[in-house]
A and B are shown apart, each in its own frame.
Chain A
Amino acid sequence: MRSALALVLVVVLAALMMAGVSQLPPPGEADQAVHRHVAANYLADGVEEGGTGNRVTAVLLDYRALDTYGEVVVIFAALIAVLLVRSAGGPRTQPPPRRVPVSPVVDQVIRLMTPFIALFALFMIIEGHVLPGGGFQGGVVLGALMILLSLALGPDRLRGALHTGALFWLRAVAPLAFTVSALAGLGLVGWWFALPEPGWMREFALVLLELAIGFGGAAALTGFFLSLEEDIHR
């Protein structure tokens, strides 16, 4: 009975989605509404106004900076929620679950790959305003690297290696950087999130924002992971 009900629900949902998808315009058609509104301006003036040749960056960090601000605040809010829930739990009575040791092959491969993954993540963050990718992607790769290292070395050594005071502030650096960017734009240029005037200043501001998103995101992910991991052990 329940599976029949589930089947009916799935079929109805699939039919609705198919009906919706079939109404979408064919990709790349130039006279559709999405291409006639602001897209032409972004394509024409994006390089000039955005401070970089990459128009995706211009949209993310300049034209739609408020949306990106919302995204980094959401990640920060999620981190705060995890920390709050964790601290509210109180000490656990049951013993921690058995830890399966990592195989030596996995351990060695993680150690071998670490410098390359770190370099790639840094490259994505720093060159993110010019190339595809950027602070968010680089930050996620950096956060994944931290979790891998925690697998190989053990979370306690990772916690010791990362200066916890620095990690504490780094977790809030992305929302803080966007707040500063919004206020600086309003004060110096005249509207929220405006980038400063000469071209090299714009590029510098973009690099700073990407660095903040990247390291802030990586610190937030590492913070999530370490606090959940600690919770398992309590």
Chain B
Amino acid sequence: MSPNDVFDLLILTLLIGCALAIARLKDLAAAVVLFSIYSFSLCLLWVHRGAPDVAMTEAAVGAGITAVLFFYALTRTGRREK
């Protein structure tokens, strides 16, 4: 296994871990932060695979505006899942 594959595997493990944690967490603010981490990991994967344009879209949309909108929604509701 080349170092490139090891990097990809690390990122993919992080992605799956984040996804499972987001589904299980009751603290919604923490879930949004994890969602941002998920998007940034995916962004790293795109850069590593040679797609910087897709990576910038992922960072701007996935980690940027989606997280901002989720946080805005949280200021209107509650932080805990019921």
Contacts and interface: CB of A to CB of B under 8 A. Distances in A.
Contact of B64 (A132, A134, A140): A140
A97 B76 contact: yes
A99 B52 contact: no
Interface string B54-74: 011101110011001101101
Contact of A141 (B60, B69, B71, B75): B60
Given A27-B49, A140-B60, A140-B64, A102 B69 contact: no
Interface string A119-143: 0000010000000111011101101
B53 to A, nearest CB: 5
B64 A141 contact: yes
A140 B61 contact: yes
B2 interface: no
Interface string B30-65: 000000000000000000010011011101110011
Q: Which of B60, B68, B69 counts the most A-chain CB atoms under 10 A from its CB?
A: B60
B57 to A, nearest CB: 6
B72 A147 contact: yes
A56 B61 CA distance: 19
Contacts of A144: 60, 64-65, 68
Contacts of B49: 27
Given A99-B76, A144-B60, A232-B76, A132 B68 contact: no
A134 B68 CA distance: 21
Nearest to A57: B53
Interface residues of B, number: 19
A147 B65 contact: yes
Interface in A129-185: 132-134, 136-138, 140-141, 143-144, 147-148, 150-151
A157 B75 CA distance: 18
Interface string A77-106: 000000000000000000001011010000
Nearest to B67: A144
A38 B24 CA distance: 46
A61 interface: no
A194 interface: no
B71 to A, nearest CB: 8
Given A132-B52, A132-B56, A133-B53, A147 B76 contact: no
Given A27-B49, A144-B60, A99 B65 contact: no
A147 B69 contact: yes
A65 interface: no
A72 interface: no
A94 B69 CA distance: 23
Contact of B68 (A102, A133, A147): A147
Contacts of A147: 65, 68-69, 72
Interface of A: 27, 56, 97, 99-100, 102, 124, 132-134, 136-138, 140-141, 143-144, 147-148, 150-151, 221, 225, 232
